[in-house]
Chains A and B, each alone.
Chain A
Amino acid sequence: MSTDTPDRGGAPRPQGTTGSTYRADRDSTVAMPPADTRLLVAAGVCLLIPVVALMWVSSYARETPRLGGIPFFFWYQFAWVFLTSALTWTAHRLVIAARRPRDLAREENREDLGGRP
């Protein structure tokens, strides 16, 4: 879609041509957009749980209890495939709930156009 956008990685664009009202705080990392921080933190926890669980190898490096002849070590990790999938999906819903992208686009558009002659 942005087929012939000249606006690419090469030469820096002249400052101000796309005049964002957020330009002033562009060097700060969390300037945008308004979001429900509690929901974002909850999403972060959802994403962190599988990483911690699977990196903690000593918690699951054992043979028993077996499941249908399969040692614990193996079926436990297979179970985490499904748990992680569910947690990642939950994080996805939480992030959407915390920050509505359409609102952002609309708001940005209005302010952008407002700033133009």
Chain B
Amino acid sequence: MIPLAAGTGVNNVALTVLIVLFAVVTILGFMASRFRRGEHLDSLDEWGLGGRRFGTWITWFLLGGDLYTAYTFIAVPAAMFATGAVAGFFAVPYTIVLYPIVFLFMARLWSVSHRHGYVTSADFVQGRYGDRGLSLAVAVTGFLATMPYIALQLVGIQAVLEVAGVGGSGGWLAKDLPLLVAFVLLAAYTYTSGLRAPAVIAFVKDALIYLVIIVAIIYLPQKFGGWDHIFGAAQHKMATTNPATGKPTGAFIPNASQFWAYATLGLGSALALFMYPHSVTASLSSGSRNTIRRNAAILPAYSFVLGLLALLGWVAIAAGTKPIGLDGKPNPQLVIPQLFEDAFPAWFAGVAFAAVAIGALVPAAIMSIAAANTFTRNVYKEWIKRDATPAQEAKVSKLMSLVVKAFALVFVLTLDKQNAINFQLLGGVWILQTFPAIVFSLYTRWFHRSALLVGWAAGMVYGTVKAYQVINPVTGKHFGGSLAAIPGIGDMGYIALTAFVLNVVVAAVLTLVLNAMKVGNGIDQTTSVDYFADEDDPRVERDLTEHSGPRTGAFEG
């Protein structure tokens, strides 16, 4: 460990601000268990979905905190800084086209889940076809895709701590202790407060993020020569030849051969995002069918902020930011924290660091809850203990949320960071393969359950193989990126979307065959009207009173 130049050592002021803000959200996290508390505490609906009664604004903060993760805030500007607009700025069209797509199907998923008490998307698939195999495939895919995503939130916290000068040297304990402490606290209040913890902390997270980005976008460009100069510097850097590949460093504006890449990265990611269990969990926690639709119209505010953040990656180019890790090696992931440390007064750098670190806690909490719910509902209850009571379900889910977080921590501390990034990339490819089974099934039962399963498997295998075959030109390692030549078109495109097309084609062809052979398509618990049920649906209330006696106040909120 070589001591570094002045200014990259421990930043005491920034660190103090970071720790104070961290302490505040920890207290909020524990107090959150009393936030809009319901009558029945020991159930997945209460612990894992916050009682299913969050209104429009709470849902806005919760989903915003959930979808726009700390890792996004670190990785998108890092990609802009390192390789330019195709790898970085696609996040903007991605998070725009996301909402029309979500608008289409999420209200139906909310209604049918409300009507039947579904907690996960695999619950819905099970109810729609009565097919344990297909439901398990959806559940396992969601679980696997979420794990590395949680690990990446830790990478986000690590990046901030590293720039603040903590955790680079000493034994493994001194090095990793801050991260360990942060995660033990997170695990503890997620365990006690469930989904209410991230719901409350999301207010702080989003307020800090908006504050930091608005200040940064007003203050930094004029400090570093104005937008003209910033875009000029970025254009110059992207046109420079990269000695490792012999090609230009990156893309300033996508050229004709990159249009497919840009469009498919955006569309594929948008289709995939709401297949993740943590997106579904946050959506189902809303109190009415229209909450999610209203949110589809107001959530793009975060997309705007994300776009500004992406441009900060280019501000860093103009500012001459040198993202050097505590190990002395350049690491583009550090570019945003480093820019903040260089350009802001120490106390505000601390606020910015806290925004990123707290930004990691909200999604990490929701993701671990969602993964735990998926395990409990679709593995434990379905395959291990079919007569589990709601209280037992909640117990298993709470314990599982600890296991999931422990796994993520071990993953980040023992393996190379690159592994987490590779698996997250692969997770995106995998999760999109559950789209036909979930979204198509919300509209139609034309697709055959076995065809959907085979299509899913085809997409999974194809996507994994293709991603493995991408070689990083610098390191020579596999899983070097998410783009591969699209068969039949030849241009590069997002592997997840190519695999998805294969998935749909296989499912459609096989459906024709199976339907022609008149193979049964399982038992459907749902009816057409279920997909339009709303919060005051009389049938939900009646079912509850039939089975559990009179209820007490649930629908306010």
Contact = CB atoms under 8 A, between A and B. Distances in A.
Interface of A: 1-13, 18, 20, 22-23, 25-29, 31-33, 46-48, 50-51, 54-58, 61-63, 68-71, 73-74, 77-78, 80-82, 84-89, 91-92, 95-96, 99, 101-102, 104-105, 108-109, 112
Interface in B472-526: 523-526
A70 B254 CA distance: 15
Given A70-B227, A108-B538, A7 B543 contact: yes
Nearest to B537: A105
Contacts of A32: 528-529, 531-532
Interface string B226-240: 111011000000000
B38 A81 contact: no
Contacts of B531: 32
Nearest to A21: B529
A3 B118 contact: no
Given A29-B443, A61-B253, A105 B536 contact: yes
A77 B94 CA distance: 11
B297 A9 contact: no
Interface stretch (B156-164, B262-270, B456-464): B262-270
B86 to A, nearest CB: 10
Contacts of B52: 1-2
B267 A7 contact: no
A5 B544 contact: yes
A37 to B, nearest CB: 15
A22 B529 CA distance: 7
Interface in B82-130: 85, 89, 92-93, 96-97, 99-101, 103-104, 114, 116-120, 122-124, 126-127, 130
A78 B307 contact: yes
Given A2-B540, A27-B445, A80-B96, A88 B297 contact: yes
B304 interface: yes
A73 B118 CA distance: 42
A77 B307 contact: yes
Nearest to B261: A57
Interface residues of B, number: 93
A101 B38 contact: no
A66 B289 CA distance: 41
Interface stretch (B338-346, B407-415, B426-434, B546-554): B546-554
Nearest to A29: B444
Contacts of A23: 527
A3 B46 contact: yes
Contacts of A5: 116-117, 540, 543-544, 547-548
B356 to A, nearest CB: 22
A4 B392 CA distance: 12
A81 B547 contact: no
B534 interface: yes
Contacts, number: 223
A11 B123 CA distance: 11
9 contacts: A9-B124, A26-B524, A29-B446, A48-B100, A54-B93, A55-B93, A62-B253, A68-B227, A88-B103
Nearest to A20: B527
B53 A112 contact: no
A71 B235 CA distance: 11
A69 B226 CA distance: 8
A29 B294 CA distance: 25
Given A88-B296, A92-B290, A92-B297, A73 B253 contact: yes
Contact of B126 (A9, A25, A27, A58): A9
B117 A69 contact: no
Contacts of A58: 256, 259
Contacts of A95: 293
Contact of A55 (B38, B266, B528, B538): B266
Interface string B369-388: 00000000110011000100
A22 to B, nearest CB: 5
B43 interface: yes
Contacts of B303: 81
Contacts of B245: none
Interface in B347-402: 377-378, 381-382, 386, 390
Contact of A51 (B101, B289, B529): B101
B314 to A, nearest CB: 10
Contacts of A109: 538-539
Given A28-B528, A91-B103, A101-B532, 6 more contacts: A9-B126, A9-B127, A26-B524, A73-B254, A77-B307, A91-B100
B555 interface: yes
Contacts of A6: 547
